[in-house]
């Protein structure tokens, strides 16, 4: 590895949702880019082996056995984990980690990472998300504003394809949308009642990364319109939802500038104290355990939040004994997530004549209405709600006969409307919520990750508010049999972990500047969830992608003018 | 194709741990299995894993539960037993076995025979009482009956017949329409 003639212009660590975007943007700009993926290859279409499997073709009709559940107590809690998707998840015993407090770490080690498995809900963050932590005193100032990111949101939305409606709401800004999905009769009824009875609350159709109408840019990617299957987590043969596998990585490959290497576990970033820059990375081959080094002028860290933290913490040197760029000791701290602990179910007896056709990959969302322009609730931060209405199926209780031909025929008919509502709450960044490295090592000789993350009283207050408000809103909308309850789920199961390598204006309280460049190592950028100073209310993935595209644009300019 | 291959592989491993009679049954069914539907093949393969005493009851229960639909998916008893054995928690299996023992004890006391040996009419009466909390023939009878019904329905509605002929199987809807009239012949979507 010759520092004077690096192997590549750029190394991107990780091929998931943000790594794929970094690769695409750099390759589009003509930079020789190496993407290092620690897991297996997953080829678009070819490796979606269960995409068309019917339930009767699977052992136990697709149900996971109790033995498998006991062997995988963490990952089997994930809503998307099952017989048709298990091959895309890391099993609990494959890569053990340590927990000081319960944290359900859901991982996907393969090309595309969790972009194959994500829930695909994409809302722009509003200026409230960027301003509220400092305004209400629960976080540092974001070094960027909504206006800084807005053009990059548009850039990303146009490429990935986002269905949605321009609702004109300040709390969820409009975007470059494809046609929205439609609400059904009861969802529209609840929407109308909320609008009528709560002047400051609005229900709108969710925005998701599905092609409701494929445009030329999507056809160029080889992607097609969504067929409303909702077998998404198995991998979509149509490429109808956005994933690295269907979109950014093949696009980058077409430029001729991409090299993608699988089974390459990055153990550390190499640092040269003379230049005060990174020279490249050290990797361990997952099969042979052979150690290799790759050099580049720039390193983008996109290994997913916790692993990005882990790599930086393990990148020790004489200059940085506590991890790369970690003079302030904050690397790994302020790990945050989303509070998903509240759910409400109900039934509605209206619209008996209405039904729907197909399966919709999104739900209705109610943007945050708490602490909007000032802190007006007993807790800090905001939360949003999602709800959907479906006709009950054969699992419902019925009046009359308990078995027999008529019972089966009746079970097969659509039942009353069932309502499901859930919360997505911002958690306040806490210094003692952290990821750090254990003294124990994994099978590759890399220190194991330890997670010390928990809820706070603020989360309890927010949860209580959601349960009360959610139930009240559904009641006012005419719902019955309302059941508001707590899921008791541990942090991590939300799969929205963020922070640890946060952006900020002040190097004494942050690790990255406004362009995601490490304050103390200018050619290393972190643009996945690890960079986030706060979690916001909205889903985070669209923001990861927009931040990545913006950071690449900046880094590319720096590379061209030889500033890094 | 993958399913058939994996079934045979799994079956070979099972053969090592079963008695001669069961081995012969499985070998016989596997030699015929090539002509059977995957669901039936799976059912036969699973024979060694289940509580054999319970299988005739599961079969009779399914017959009553499914009525005219039963013949399209029979037999279901072995696959239900296998599912219970492999997919339920230890407590779930114990609860079902307790319920089954109590139901059989009730049948023996009341009718001097096990459930599966009763007349069709007598079986109906036992099941009607079991599903009725006010007429419970044994403790927690309704809970037992509902749990078993849930498992049997899961099996039924996930068979090819149940999913495609009774429900509406729709792997590729092509679109979503939020405003479709509900007709009297409408069936629940499944996938």
| CA–CA dist A89, A564 (Å, integer) | 37
> pLDDT-based confidence at A5, cuts 50/70/90?
confident
Mutant choice from B149, B160, B173 vs A, greatest count of A C-beta within 10 A: B173
Residue in chain B closest to A413 (alpha carbons) equals: B187
| CA–CA dist A505, A522 (Å, integer) | 15
The bridge status of strand A417-426 relative to strand A383-391 is: antiparallel
What is the 3 state secondary structure string of A362-416?
CCEEECCCCCCCCCCCCCCCCEEEEEEEEECCCCCCCCCCCCCHHHHHHHCCCCC
Share of chain A above pLDDT 70, in %: 99
Task: List residues bridging with B177 in a β-sheet.
Answer: A357
Answer yes or no: are the C-beta atoms of A204 and A365 closer than 8 Å.
yes
Cβ of B74 under 8 Å from any chain A Cβ?
no
Å between B171 CA and nearest CA of chain A: 6
| CA–CA dist A152, B113 (Å, integer) | 75
Note the pLDDT of residue B28: 31
- Which residue reads 């009875």 in tokens? A197
> pLDDT-based confidence at A113, cuts 50/70/90?
very high
Cβ of B154 under 8 Å from any chain A Cβ?
yes
Dig out the tokens for A524 from the structure. 């290393």
User: Looking at the predicted structure, is the pLDDT value of residue A405 above 70?
Assistant: yes
- Higher pLDDT: A29 or B43? It is A29
| CA–CA dist A33, A256 (Å, integer) | 10
User: Looking at the predicted structure, is the pLDDT value of residue B23 above 60?
Assistant: no
Note the pLDDT of residue A2: 57
Task: List residues bridging with A420 in a β-sheet.
Answer: A345, A388
Note the pLDDT of residue B50: 67
Q: What is the pLDDT of residues A455-494, one digit of tens each?
A: 999 999 999 999 999 999 999 999 999 999 999 999 999 9
Answer yes or no: are the C-beta atoms of A244 and A112 closer than 8 Å.
yes
Answer yes or no: are the C-beta atoms of A487 and A392 closer than 8 Å.
no
| Residue of B69, B157, B173 with shortest CB distance to A359 | B173
Note the pLDDT of residue B49: 53
Spell out which residues of chain B touch residue A52, defining contact as CB-CB under 8 Å.
Answer: 171
Q: What is the pLDDT of residues A33-43, one digit of tens each?
A: 999 999 999 99
> For the residues B95-114, what does the mean pLDDT come to?
96
| Rounded (10°) angle between helices B120-131 and B141-157 | 110
User: Looking at the predicted structure, is the pLDDT value of residue B172 above 80?
Assistant: yes
Model confidence, pTM: 0.92
3-class SS of residue A513? coil
- Cβ contact, residue pair B127, A405, below 8 Å: no
| Residue of B153, B173, B178 with shortest CB distance to A394 | B153
Phi, psi dihedral angles at A556 (to 5 degrees): -65, -40
Residue in chain B closest to A62 (alpha carbons) equals: B158
| CA–CA dist A194, A45 (Å, integer) | 42
| CA–CA dist B100, B105 (Å, integer) | 8
User: Looking at the predicted structure, is the pLDDT value of residue B22 above 50?
Assistant: no
What is the 3 state secondary structure string of chain B?
CHHHHHHHHHHHHHHCCCCHHHHHHHHHHHHHHCCCCHHHHHHHHHHHHCCCCCHHHHHHHHHHHHHHHHHHHCCCHHHHHHHHHHHCCHHHHHHHHHHHHHHHHHHHHHHCCCHHHCCHHHHHHHHHHHHCHHHCCCCCHHHHHHHHHHHHHHHHHCCHHHHHHHCEECCCCCCCEEEEECCCCCCCEEC
> For the residues B35-55, what does the mean pLDDT come to?
54
What is the 3 state secondary structure string of A130-190?
HHHHHHCCCCCCCCCCHHHHHHHHHHHHHHHCCECCCCCECCECCCCCECCCCCCHHHHHH
- Which residue reads 């900046």 in tokens? A554
Spell out which residues of chain A touch residue B177, defining contact as CB-CB under 8 Å.
Answer: 182, 356-358
| Residue of B90, B153, B182 with shortest CB distance to A353 | B182
Dig out the tokens for A509 from the structure. 């309280």
Å between B104 CA and nearest CA of chain A: 19
| CA–CA dist A325, A58 (Å, integer) | 50
Burial label, A302 (beta-carbon count in 10 A; 0-12, 13-18, 19+) = buried
Å between A85 CA and nearest CA of chain B: 15
Angle at A124 between CA A122 and CA A126, to 5 degrees: 145
3-class SS of residue A113? helix
- Cβ contact, residue pair A227, B172, below 8 Å: yes
| CA–CA dist A548, A18 (Å, integer) | 6
| CA–CA dist B158, A54 (Å, integer) | 9
User: Looking at the predicted structure, is the pLDDT value of residue A103 above 90?
Assistant: yes
| C-alpha A562: how far from chain center | 33
User: Looking at the predicted structure, is the pLDDT value of residue B134 above 70?
Assistant: yes
Note the pLDDT of residue A4: 62
Å between B108 CA and nearest CA of chain A: 23
Q: Which residues contact A294 (CB under 8 A, 6 or more apart)?
A: A1, A7, A8, A11, A34, A36, A280, A281, A283
| CA–CA dist A177, B57 (Å, integer) | 56
The Cβ of residue B84 has, within 10 Å, a number of other Cβ atoms equal to: 22
Q: What separation, in Å, do the N-terminal and C-terminal C-alpha atoms of chain B show?
A: 20
Answer yes or no: are the C-beta atoms of A391 and A418 closer than 8 Å.
yes
Spell out which residues of chain A touch residue B171, defining contact as CB-CB under 8 Å.
Answer: 52, 54, 229, 231
Q: What is the pLDDT of residues A330-373, one digit of tens each?
A: 999 999 999 999 999 999 999 999 999 999 999 999 999 999 99
Q: Which of A239-243, A289-293, A421-425, B17-21 has the lowest mean pLDDT?
A: B17-21
DSSP element (H, E) containing A348: strand A342-348
Answer yes or no: are the C-beta atoms of A403 and B131 closer than 8 Å.
yes
| C-alpha A329: how far from chain center | 26
> For the residues A311-327, what does the mean pLDDT come to?
98
């Amino acid at each position: 590895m010759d520092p004077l003639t690096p192997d590549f212009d750029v190394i991107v660590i990780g091929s998931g949702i943000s790594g794929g975007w970094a690769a695409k943007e750099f390759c589009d700009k003509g930079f020789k880019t190496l993407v290092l993926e620690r897991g297996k290859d997953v080829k678009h279409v070819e490796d979606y082996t269960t995409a068309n499997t019917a339930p009767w073709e699977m052992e136990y009709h697709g149900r996971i056995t109790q033995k498998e559940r006991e062997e995988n107590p963490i990952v089997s809690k994930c809503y998307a984990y099952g017989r048709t998707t298990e091959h895309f998840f890391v099993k609990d015993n494959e890569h053990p980690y340590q927990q000081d407090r319960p944290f359900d770490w859901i991982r996907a080690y393969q090309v595309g990472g969790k972009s194959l498995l994500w829930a695909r809900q994409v809302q722009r963050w509003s200026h409230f998300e960027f301003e509220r932590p400092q305004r209400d005193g629960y976080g540092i100032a974001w070094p960027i504003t909504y206006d800084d990111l807005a053009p990059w949101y548009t850039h990303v939305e146009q490429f990935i394809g986002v269905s949605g409606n321009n609702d004109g709401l300040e709390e969820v800004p409009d975007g470059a949308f494809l046609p929205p999905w439609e609400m059904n009769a009861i969802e529209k009824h609840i929407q109308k009642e909320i609008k009528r009875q709560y002047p400051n609350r609005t229900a709108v159709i969710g925005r998701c990364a599905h092609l409701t109408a494929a445009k030329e840019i999507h056809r160029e990617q080889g992607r097609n319109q969504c067929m409303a299957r909702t077998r998404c987590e198995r991998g979509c043969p149509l490429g109808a939802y956005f994933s690295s596998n269907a979109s950014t990585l093949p696009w980058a490959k077409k430029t001729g500038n991409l090299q993608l290497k699988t089974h390459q576990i990055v153990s550390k970033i190499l640092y040269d104290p003379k230049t005060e820059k990174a020279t490249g990375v050290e990797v361990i081959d997952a099969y042979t355990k052979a150690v290799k080094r790759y050099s580049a002028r720039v390193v983008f860290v996109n290994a997913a939040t916790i692993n990005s933290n882990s790599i930086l913490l393990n990148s020790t040197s004489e200059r940085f004994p506590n991890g790369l760029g970690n003079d302030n000791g904050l690397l790994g701290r302020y790990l945050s997530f989303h509070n998903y602990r509240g759910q409400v179910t109900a039934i509605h007896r209206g619209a008996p004549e209405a039904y729907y056709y197909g399966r919709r990959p999104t739900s209705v969302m109610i943007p945050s209405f708490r602490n909007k322009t000032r802190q007006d609730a007993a807790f800090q931060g905001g939360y949003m709600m999602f709800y959907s209405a479906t006709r009950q199926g054969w699992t419902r209780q019925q009046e009359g006969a308990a078995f027999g031909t008529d019972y089966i025929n009746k079970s097969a008919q659509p039942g009353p409307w069932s309502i499901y509502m859930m919360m997505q709450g911002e958690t306040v960044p806490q210094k003692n919520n952290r990821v750090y490295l254990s003294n124990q090592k994994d099978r590759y000789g890399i220190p194991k990750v330890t997670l010390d993350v928990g809820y706070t009283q603020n989360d309890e207050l927010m949860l209580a508010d959601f349960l009360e408000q959610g139930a009240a809103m559904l009641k006012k909308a005419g719902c019955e049999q309302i059941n508001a309850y707590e899921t008791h789920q541990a942090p991590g199961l939300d799969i929205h972990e963020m922070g640890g390598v946060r952006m900020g204006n002040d190097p004494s309280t942050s690790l990255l500047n406004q362009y995601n460049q490490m304050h103390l190592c200018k050619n290393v950028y972190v643009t996945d969830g690890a960079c986030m100073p706060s979690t916001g209310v909205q889903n985070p993935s669209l923001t990861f992608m927009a931040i990545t595209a913006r950071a690449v644009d900046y880094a590319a300019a720096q590379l061209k003018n030889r500033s890094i | 194709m993958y399913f058939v291959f994996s079934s045979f592989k799994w079956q070979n491993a099972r053969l090592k741990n079963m008695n001669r009679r069961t081995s012969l049954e499985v070998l016989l069914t596997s030699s015929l299995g090539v002509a059977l539907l995957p669901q039936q093949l799976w059912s036969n393969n699973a024979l060694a894993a289940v509580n054999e005493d319970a299988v005739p009851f599961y079969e009779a229960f399914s017959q009553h539960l499914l009525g005219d639909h039963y013949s399209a998916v029979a037999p279901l008893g072995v696959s239900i037993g296998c599912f219970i054995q492999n997919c339920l928690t230890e407590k779930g299996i114990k609860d079902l076995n307790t319920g089954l023992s109590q139901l059989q004890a009730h049948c023996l006391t009341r009718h001097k025979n096990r459930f599966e040996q009763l007349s069709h009419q007598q079986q109906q009466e036992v099941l009607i009482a079991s599903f009725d909390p006010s007429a419970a023939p044994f403790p927690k009878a309704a809970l037992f009956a509902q749990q078993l019904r849930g498992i049997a329905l899961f099996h039924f509605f996930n068979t090819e017949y149940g999913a495609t002929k009774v429900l509406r199987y729709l792997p590729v809807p092509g679109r979503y329409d939020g405003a479709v009239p509900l007709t009297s012949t409408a069936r629940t979507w499944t996938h």
